[in-house]
Amino acid sequence: MDWGMKNRISRIIKKDGRTVMLAVDHGYFMGPTTGLEKLDETVNPLLPYADTLMLTRGALRNYIPPENDVPIVLRVSGGTSIIGKELLHEGITVSMEEAIRLNVSGVAFSIMVGSDFERDTLLDFTKVVDEAERYGIPVLAVTAVGKEMAKDVRYLSLASRMAAELGARIVKTYYCEDFEKIVDTCPVPVVIAGGKKTSEKDALKMAYDAIQAGAAGVDMGRNIFQSSNPAAMIKAVRAIVHKKATPDEAYGVFEKAGKGER
């Protein structure tokens, strides 16, 4: 692995092998998602606690100050919406030249294993990998899941391993029972998405279980930015990912931070 690739990965995944990625890319297919209507007002106060920010180029340009040094993972797939007929039949939306111009640390692309569109998304994914590798940019594969597919260990380990075999340097998937199997059979770091907003306690427990099972961290969105207190929630997630906190200890961090205590 060359220096540039190593350097970029080390900006995303910290020295302890872990990362708290803040995912705020939802607008690329969901429009003004709850909590991100004015993305800067929600996200900018969270930047000191995020190891990495995952978003689109439009959000980056319009909402994030360029002086900020949080490493960026740029969403480079898209092309369909939640109201269209082919959700997640995604193609390449950003060139590698643009990614370099935006000084990103990584790019993210959704693959759709098992759907009618799997071949299109997998072949576009490998095109992105070829381009990104040429410039030492790691590609994070998002193992997107269609409504008709089960988010179980059989499916997610298949999709995660395929992503790594096709060139992903990091894989993002969903937490599920027997998550160890996904981590054990995937040769690159695995991070979990948060999924739909649930209670803070449940989201922290899921993050904890994923870390216990060997995940490198989270790439979490709604369970942070739709929390009653997003800053308190990201601090609590950090406690689990980087400080070995239990779910109860992390919830204590959430409550304390919510009261303005350190």
- Contact between 160 and 142 (Cβ < 8 Å): no
* Cβ-contact 75, 106 below 8 angstroms: no
Identify which of residues 23 and 213 has a Cβ nearer to ligand 5RP in the complex.
Answer: 23
Name the residue among 143, 151, 146, 202 with its Cα closest to residue 175: 151
Can you tell me whether residue 236 is helix, strand or coil?
Answer: helix
Phi, psi dihedrals of residue 213, rounded to the nearest 5°: -85, 0
| Amino acid (1-letter code) at residue 197 | K
Binding positions for ligand 5RP, rule: CB under 6 A: 23, 25-26, 54, 110, 142, 144, 193-195, 219-223
Where do the H-state alpha helices sit in 51-178? 57-63, 96-101, 118-134, 153-165
**Which residues, including other chains, have CB under 8 Å from residue 131's CB and lie 6 or more apart?**
95, 96
For residue 108, how many C-alpha atoms fall within 13 Å in the half-sphere facing its CB? 29
CB of 206 to ligand 5RP, least distance (A): 10
φ, ψ for residue 55, nearest 5 deg = -160, 180
Among candidate residues 15, 127, 172, 205, the one labeled active-site is 172
Nearer to ligand 5RP, 36 or 137 (CB): 36
Q: Which residues contact 40 (CB under 8 A, 6 or more apart)?
A: 63, 64
Supply the minimum distance, in Å, between the C-beta of residue 39 and ligand 5RP. Answer: 13
The token duo for 182 is 């996904």
**Amino acid letter for position 91:** G
Q: Which is nearer to ligand 5RP, 26 or 205 (CB)?
A: 26
Decide whether 26 or 169 has the Cβ nearer to ligand 5RP.
26
Query: 172 catalytic, yes or no?
Result: yes
Nearer to ligand 5RP, 4 or 192 (CB): 192
Catalytic positions are 172
